[in-house]
Chain A
Amino acid sequence: MARKKGTIRMRARAKGGVTEIELLINYKIETGLVLNKETKELEVKKPQHFVKTVTVSLNGKPVVVSNLGIASSDDPYLAFKVKGGKAGDMVKVRWKDNGGDWDELARPVGA
């Protein structure tokens, strides 16, 4: 359970009355899956390591809560569109993983 630093890259732009938020989290996922050679099924046999929740806030108000699992790619990427918003509005992103590690980043919306 530790605060990670500098794991989030974010781009937020206001365009035509819509704020587009794109984010990329530097994170290596461990699905924990191992192929069972007899049943040919993927089973969880190793410790898992994945981003569980990603919350996006605009001007202090949560706008999107993302619940993710092991099917996210490494370095999870997410993009959303929020009505309204203008250059200078503050976007905050916070992620938390299944082990309690987390990071957050706040930055203003660009034009």
Chain B
Amino acid sequence: MDPHRRLVLKGTGSLSVLGLALAAGFSPQKALAAWPSGAFATRNPKEAVTRVEGGSAIEMAHVTVTAPRLAENGAVVPVSVESDLPNVVSMAVFAEENPFPLASEFELRPGVLPFVSTRMRLAKTQQIMGVVKTADGKLYGGKRLVKVTIGGCGG
């Protein structure tokens, strides 16, 4: 590994960048493959859910979305998603009225509690939906309406 790395570092510009990434024990290709680009790129909320969490029907239960009822600034809206289910393997946050509904997705390894807190942009007043997937592939969801005074997606 080490001699090879030295060799790569001596290479051209783009190769040295790859060398640095390898030296840091990090594979850029793997990370790119994992990031759900199709789900982030779609403008259709249903398609965003399907692409990131699979096509199962969502049971609207066991998921609590916490967010302010009124967000004056849509650029920074604190949102938490929490579930009382065991064996949650992933959680995702969707904003149906944003230009691109998928906001974030989290893969949880065993031992991580089904809780995530984040701050997000909301283009306008809308429902925030949290979706969690359990180890058996079932989807559960919860929603919360947030009124937005000033949209946060630029323009």
Chain B residues in 8 Å Cβ range of A63: 108-109, 111-112
Contact across chains for B76 and A74 when beta carbons are under 8 A apart: yes
- Bound complex: CA A79 to CA B106 (Å): 11
Please determine whether B104 and A67 come into contact, CB atoms closer than 8 angstroms. Answer: yes
- Contact between A70 and B106, CB atoms less than 8 A apart: no
A34 and B155 alpha carbons, distance in the complex (Å): 4
Main secondary structure of the interface of B (DSSP, over half): mixed
- State the Cβ distance, A14 to closest chain B Cβ, in Å: 13
Task: Please give, as numbers and ranges, the residues of chain A lying within 8 Å of B155 by CB-CB distance.
Answer: 33-35, 42
- Interface pair B104/A69, CB less than 8 Å apart: yes
- CB B118 to nearest CB in A, in angstroms, measures 5
A68 interfacial by beta-carbon distance below 8 Å: yes
Q: List 6 A-B contacts (CB under 8 A).
A: A53-B34, A62-B109, A66-B107, A73-B152, A77-B119, A78-B116
Residues of A within 8 Å of B35, CB to CB, are 52-53, 67
Task: Determine, out of B2-10, B55-63, B93-101, B140-148, the stretch whose residues face the partner at the interface.
Answer: B93-101
- Is A108 positioned at the interface, with any CB of B under 8 Å from its CB? no
Interface contacts beyond A63-B112, A71-B120: sample of 17 additional A-B pairs, CB < 8 Å, sorted by A: A31-B154, A34-B154, A42-B153, A42-B155, A43-B99, A66-B106, A71-B121, A72-B104, A72-B118, A72-B119, A72-B121, A73-B120, A74-B76, A77-B118, A78-B118, A79-B116, A83-B112
**Any B CB within 8 A of the CB of A61:** yes
User: Contacts A33-B155, A42-B154, A53-B35 given: A71-B103 contact, CB under 8 Å?
Assistant: yes
Complex Cα distance, B108 from A71, in Å, reads 20
A65 beta carbon closer than 8 Å to chain B: yes
Contact-residue bracket for chain B = 35 or more
Chain A nearest CB: distance from B129 CB in Å?
A: 13
CA distance A42 to B108 in the complex (A): 32
Q: Which residue of B lies closest to A78 (CB)?
A: B118
A64 with B109: CB separation less than 8 A: yes
User: Count of A residues near B, CB < 8 Å?
Assistant: 40
Asked whether, in the complex, the Cβ of B31 is within 8 Å of the Cβ of A64, the reply is: no
Known A-B contacts A53-B35, A77-B118; A64 and B107 likewise in contact (beta carbons under 8 Å): yes
Interface hits, A33-56 → B, CB 8 Å: 33-35, 41-43, 52-53
Complex Cα distance A73/B100, Å? 14
Residues in chain A near residue B102, CB distance under 8 A: 69, 71
With the chains together, A78 CA to B153 CA distance in Å? 19
